[in-house]
Amino acid sequence: MKSKTAIENISPSSYKTSISILLALSLTHLLNDMLQSVVSASYPVIKENLSLTFGQIGFIAFVYQICASVFQPAFGVLFDKKPSPWYLSLGASSTLIGLLILAFAHSVYTVSIAVAFIGLGSSIIHPEASRLTHYASGGKHGLAQSIFQVGGNFGGSLGPLLAALIITPYGQKFMVVFAGIAFISILNKRSIIKWYTERIRVLKNKNTPKEAIRKVNLTKHQINYSLVILLILIFSKYVYTASLSNYYTFYLIEKFDITMQHSQLFLFAFLLASAAGTLIGGPIGDRFGRKYVIWFSILGTAPFSLWMPHANLLWTCILSIIIGFVLSSAFSAILVYAQELLPTKVGLISGLFFGLAFGIAGVAAAVLGNVADHNGIEYVYKCCAYMPLLGFIAIFLPNVKPHRIKKM
């Protein structure tokens, strides 16, 4: 007899890992995060053009991160209950509108409206694309999330480089170039739309067989405290990441007196290393367990983060590359671990964890901006260097073996 427990009704062919769809979703993530990171990498240009303080830059980052986080759990629930192939295109359209507004913004309030639209686009794309990644994985959830995440991380690394080549020398109005890329990303989703339209049609077929889902052998209490531990780890990771993604360029300019373009190239190196490291966590987690990947990737960053505030320019660049590579494997492992704790609520978990990641980063960006105004940017990096030490609590996570889906 077939199990009555299922995430959703699916056809036998969909049990296979769909590499083409995973690559398309990874490209969607790449384009989205590239456009998002162009905005943060352009903060120095916006700050100079509009004569803003670090506190105002922190406020702008806060608005963006909140819009990219608060709505994600709600969108995740909506996408679980009301599936549609058009959500990804809707998210890209919101990003397009925000970039057009940002190109011609002349005040901190207009910039805030622009980044709000951009944040909403991200708030739609992340939970939906992550949810579809889970369903296209064929049971290889860690590998699938790594493919998905590497697209986002690589796209995020391209943002500072493109900002250095286009926005810094030519000005804020050239954001329209990236609005054009957002339009192209809307057109690029045809294969995903076709695949998911067929999937939704199959889901509505009452005669479709159900797939048995193995639940983790944990009590409700164990699941709840495991989720709390994961949230603390997300907090430690994204407070430290916020210091690098939002203020690394300012730190390099102030401490080492380098040019804005050079600082953006250093940021590119850090983000590129993060993209490369993302591919490791998922497959290793599939084979040996997520807990060890999470524990190593966060706590293993601590020696390098504690050293970096005291290093010279060369070693600062080297250490940031090591930090990016080691730390980046954590999120996909954390996300898949949480999805395995609650396998029937993939959209909710995706939206919740992406939303918290963005929300924590947004609050951290605002707080760190004000701290930098009062105590200096170097003080910020000395304080944030201790955040990866919180990674030690991953040792208290129970061992959850990866699920293996039985083909029918």
Does 4 reside within a domain? no
> pLDDT of 79-94, one tens digit each?
878 888 889 999 999 9
pTM: 0.69
Does 402 reside within a domain? no
> pLDDT of 297-313, one tens digit each?
899 999 999 999 999 99
Question: What is the span of the domain harbouring residue 381?
Answer: 16-396
Does 404 reside within a domain? no
What are residue 203's DSSP bridge partners?
none
CATH number where 376 lies: 1.20.1250.20
Confidence of residue 148 (pLDDT cuts 50, 70, 90): confident
- Residue spans of alpha helices (H) in 210-345: 220-256, 260-288, 290-299, 302-307, 313-327, 329-341
3-state helix vs strand vs coil in the chain, percent to 5:
80, 0, 20
Query: Mean pLDDT across the chain, nearest whole number?
Result: 82
Round to whole Å and give the CA distance between 195 and 404.
23
pLDDT at position 31: 92
> Structural domain tally of the chain?
1
Does 114 reside within a domain? yes
Does 2 reside within a domain? no
* Residue 56: Cβ within 10 Å count: 18
Q: What is the DSSP string of 144-175?
A: HHHHHHHHHHHHHHHHHHHIIIIIHHH-GGGH
Does 405 reside within a domain? no
pLDDT at position 204: 66
Whether the predicted pLDDT of 388 surpasses 90: yes
Confidence of residue 319 (pLDDT cuts 50, 70, 90): very high
Does 403 reside within a domain? no
What average pLDDT does this structure show over 207-232? 73
Whether the predicted pLDDT of 339 surpasses 50: yes
Does 1 reside within a domain? no
**Residue 214 falls in which region: left (phi positive, over 0), alpha (psi -120 to 50) or beta:** beta
